[in-house]
Amino acid sequence: MTKTKVENYFDQWASDYNLAFQKEAQEKNPLQKLINFLFRRKTFYFRNKHLEDLILSLKVKNKKILDIGCGPGQTALFAANQGAQVIGLDISKEMIRMAQKNAKKTRLSTSAKFMVKDCVKENIPSADIIFCIAVLEYYKDIEPIIKKMCQASHETLVICDTQFILWRIMLRKLLSYFKGFPVYYHNSLKIEAMARKYGFKTTKIIDLHTFRTYVFSRKKH
């Protein structure tokens, strides 16, 4: 991943990105408004509902959760609202600022903490459950981050990645060119093999809309 370009992009558009989670919003930038209308808002709606159902099924109350690439904090804050202690990490300062603002607005600042961190280059805290939502697509080599997450998770690792849908791939490749950084699509068998390599087994794989969710659990010896 070209960290500086990705970081700068999300710093610049954090506010409009956050608005994609709202049904009715007034984005500042015309291009971001179009992207939200055509792609993000619908994807985020389905993905959020799916992740909320998954969090409820995992019974997260009193568990420690790590949300890697937390963005403006929607997944982390939902988990915190269910009684979990959550740490959200992101490379974008503006995304973290937005997440902290959302935590304060929802009165969850004591149970959801957010901080800036490069999760590949820096150490990450351990947790019972780790979420990694829409992050792998920004990395060509995903093994370092999968290894680090597996080492840090006591119980469960949830990875949500983009599905291989040809027309969306072509469009996203075009958009990523104008953004100045590439996006990558990873083979599901490769993701599963890496999780197994570092001590996890596949519990379930869920295909919905334009994304695929992997739920891995630590192997019992």
* Strand, helix or coil for residue 220: coil
- Out of 30-34, 56-60, 115-119, 135-139, which region has the weakest mean confidence (pLDDT)? 30-34
Is beta strand 64-68 parallel, antiparallel or unpaired with respect to 127-133? parallel
- Out of 59-68, 100-109, 183-192, 196-205, which region has the weakest mean confidence (pLDDT)? 183-192
Q: Containing H/E element for 28?
A: none
Q: How many CB atoms lie within 10 A of CB 189?
A: 8
Average confidence score pLDDT of the chain: 85
Query: What percentage of the chain exceeds 70 in pLDDT?
Result: 75
Domain count, the chain: 1
Could you read off the pLDDT of 14-62 as tens digits, one per residue? 666 566 555 555 556 555 555 555 556 667 778 888 999 999 999 999 9
Surface-to-core class of residue 26, CB atoms within 10 Å of its CB (0-12 exposed, 13-18 middle, 19+ buried): exposed
Residue type, 118: D
Is beta strand 211-218 parallel, antiparallel or unpaired with respect to 153-162? antiparallel
The CATH number assigned to the domain holding 46 equals: 3.40.50.150
What is the model's pLDDT at position 28?
Answer: 60
pLDDT of 8 over the 80 cut: no
Domain housing 28: 3-218
Decide: 199 and 220 in contact? Cβ < 8 Å.
Answer: no
What is the model's pLDDT at position 138?
Answer: 86
Tracing tokens 């809309």 back to the chain, one arrives at: 209
